[in-house]
Amino acid sequence: MINRRQMLSAGAATMVAAGAAAQTRFRDLPEAASTDSPMTQVPPRPSVGVDYNPVVTLNGWSLPFRMNGNVKEFHLVAEPVERIMATGMIARLWGYNGQSTGPTIEAVEGERVRIYVTNRLPEHTSVHWHGLILPSGMDGVGGLSHPAIPPGKTYVYEFDLTKSGTFMYHPHADEMVQMAMGMMGLFIVHPRDPAFMPVDRDFAFLLAAYDIDPGTYIPRVAEMTDFNMWTWNSRIFPDIDPLAVSKGDRVRVRCGNLTMTNHPIHMHGYDFQVTCTDGGWVPESARWPEVSIDIPVGAMRAYEFDAVHEGDWAIHCHKSHHTMNAMGHDLPTFIGTDKRKLTGMIRERQPGYMPMGTAGMADMGMMSMELPDNTVPMMTGWGPYGPLEMGGMFSVVKVRAGLAADDYSDPGWYQNPPGTQAWEWTGELPDHASNDSPETRLTPRPTRDNG
């Protein structure tokens, strides 16, 4: 868990930082905060420095800092971690300060940051500050910007935050392996002017893909395309926290993509506008409405909307395989296959055999059969009306009236008002149109009633 006392003490210490007596103390490294919890930890508003509205990192946390004079100091520790991707599945990854993805670094435009990076990995690393404008020697490309940080060593990055926006950090030394192992984090720079594009709720997450075979714990780092864990902040459905929103809130969702493919992130119930990329804020005149926003590889997008529609709204990557957990891709299609005889034959040898897939794969979402260790079903999750049959990059935006400003807890399932939910028709069915021809057929204009 994030240590709130530590944050408070860091804040308190900063309070006395003005005193000369404290100067020597601050020659030491800031304490490296750490957490072992994969749950969303809502950061407190800053008690020192410039005020800002912290982002809520889904299933993540923000890195505590201390003020050292006018410099904001952070301490990142690159180290092996165990990430609970979902109940029943642990991934042995590399990350920062106890978690993958790493903690979100938050600061304010115009601030100077000093970031200590301690390397507890078995090989060298570096940190690249993706999208930030900074001196060449601070860019974190091992061998190009500076020597890579050897194991056991601590390097210091220090630069001014010249612009606000949505950024991220990740290694740029043995980058393929270290990113495949989960090393990445968000870097949010808030505008100095609190009146600039304020929002009530500001969510953030990173898209990361892993190839962890069912029954194993560690990603196959050499994989390029055939990933099976499609994660938000190294977390998969059904254990990605929902985005709890109070009705009427202005909401921003920030999303960065460090996988090997693009992800069309689709949110139900709303249209929205992209307001920010990792290049900066999008002028209002350049925005257009969307319901899906494609996040390119190695890019970030932030979109905003006014939460006017109450309800439970799915939010997910629109590549349907990305809303599945680990599954086989070499399966024959069993739809329509009569397995009655087969079942008896196979049970001679495998008494536990269950025929599946003959009507589709939804039976997978219903059954809870024994699976290999350390994996979650390919499709899973239950809603108020049945199985959701989802996995991977899927969560729910829960818009409710009257949520307290700092309340991000799960408000439960939405109760649809009477008459606003699909219902079963039990009466006579009218004839339905049908067509067995593959030819183009022109639809006749409707005959207008001119009366």
Partner 1 sequence: MKPILLTLGTALLLSACDQALIRQGSAPRPGFALVQDSTRHATGQDSVWHLSAAELDANAARVSALVNGKTIGPDRAVQVALMNNRALQAAYAELGLSGAELWGTALGSIPTLNLSVTNLGEEGFARTLEATLTTSLLELATLKPRKRMAEMDFRQAQLEATGATLALAYETRRAWIEVVGAFEAAALIGAAQGTADAGSELAAELGRTGAMNRADQAREHVFTAELAGERAQRKLEAQLAKERLIRLMGLWGSDINVNVPDRLPDLPHGVTARPDIERLALTHRIDLAAGRLELERIASDYRLTQATRMLSDIEIMAGAEMEREDGANGLSPVVDIEFRIPVYDTGNLNRRRGEMTYMRAANTLAQEAVNARSEARSAYAAVTGSYRVARHWQTEVLPLRREIDAEALRSYNGMLTSTFELLSDARDGLEAELSAAEAKRDYWLAEADVSAVIWGSVGGSQ
Burial call 259-286: b when 16+ CB within 10 Å, e when fewer: bbbebebbbebbebbbbbbbeebbeeee
Q: Name the minimum Å distance from CB 353 to partner 1.
A: 7
Q: Closest Cα partner for 157 from 129, 187, 131?
A: 129
Q: Which is nearer to partner 1, 159 or 334 (CB)?
A: 334
Contact between 369 and partner 1 per CB under 8 A: yes
| Using rule CB under 8 A, residue 327 touches partner 1 | yes
Comparison of 264 and 357: residue with beta carbon closer to partner 1? 357
Tokens 């930082």 found at = 17
349 binds partner 1 (CB under 8 A): yes
Query: Interface with partner 1 includes 22 (CB under 8 A)?
Result: no
End-to-end, the C-alpha distance of the chain in Å comes to 71
**311-317/263-267 β-pairing:** antiparallel
Answer for which of 13, 58, 115, 326 binds partner 1 (CB under 8 A) is: 326
Would you say 177 or 346 has its CB closer to partner 1?
346
> How far is residue 49 CA from its own chain's centroid?
28
Tell me if 168 sits within 8 A of 83, measured CB to CB: no
Least distance from partner 1 to the Cβ atom of residue 344, Å = 9
As given in the structure block, the two tokens for residue 310 are 């109450």
Name the minimum Å distance from CB 334 to partner 1. 7
Q: Does 381 bind partner 1 (CB under 8 A)?
A: no
For partner 1, the closer of residues 85 and 361 by Cβ is 361
CA distance 43 to 10: 14
Tokens representing 96 are 């920062």
With beta carbons less than 8 A apart as the criterion, state whether 96 and 125 touch: no
Residue 353 touching partner 1 (CB under 8 A): yes
Dihedral sign for Cα atoms in the order 186, 192, 197, 201: positive
* Token couple for 305: 């909307």
- Per CB under 8 A, which region of 7-15, 55-63, 127-135, 367-375 contacts partner 1? 367-375
By CB under 8 A, the residues from 30 to 59 that bind partner 1 are: none
Question: Of the candidates 29, 156, 286, 354, which one interacts with partner 1 according to CB under 8 A?
Answer: 354
> Between 3 and 216, whose beta carbon lies closer to partner 1?
216
CB 255, min distance to partner 1, A? 29
Site for partner 1 in 177-236 (CB under 8 A): 214-215
The answer to whether 65 and 17 are in contact (CB under 8 A) is no
User: Torsion-angle region of residue 33: left (phi > 0), alpha (psi -120 to 50) or beta?
Assistant: beta
- What is the token pair recorded at 77? 């520790």
CB of 336 to partner 1, least distance (A): 4
How many binding residues for partner 1 (CB under 8 A)? 37
Least distance from partner 1 to the Cβ atom of residue 221, Å: 20
φ/ψ region of 140 (left if φ > 0, alpha if ψ in -120 to 50, else beta) reads: left
In what helix (H) or strand (E) does residue 365 lie, and over which residues does it extend? helix 362-366
Is residue 341 near partner 1 by the rule CB under 8 A?
A: yes
Q: How far is the CB of 87 from partner 1 (least distance, A)?
A: 16
- Binding residues (CB under 8 A) for partner 1: these are 214-215, 326-328, 330-339, 341-342, 345-346, 348-350, 352-354, 356-357, 361, 364, 367, 369-372, 375, 377-378
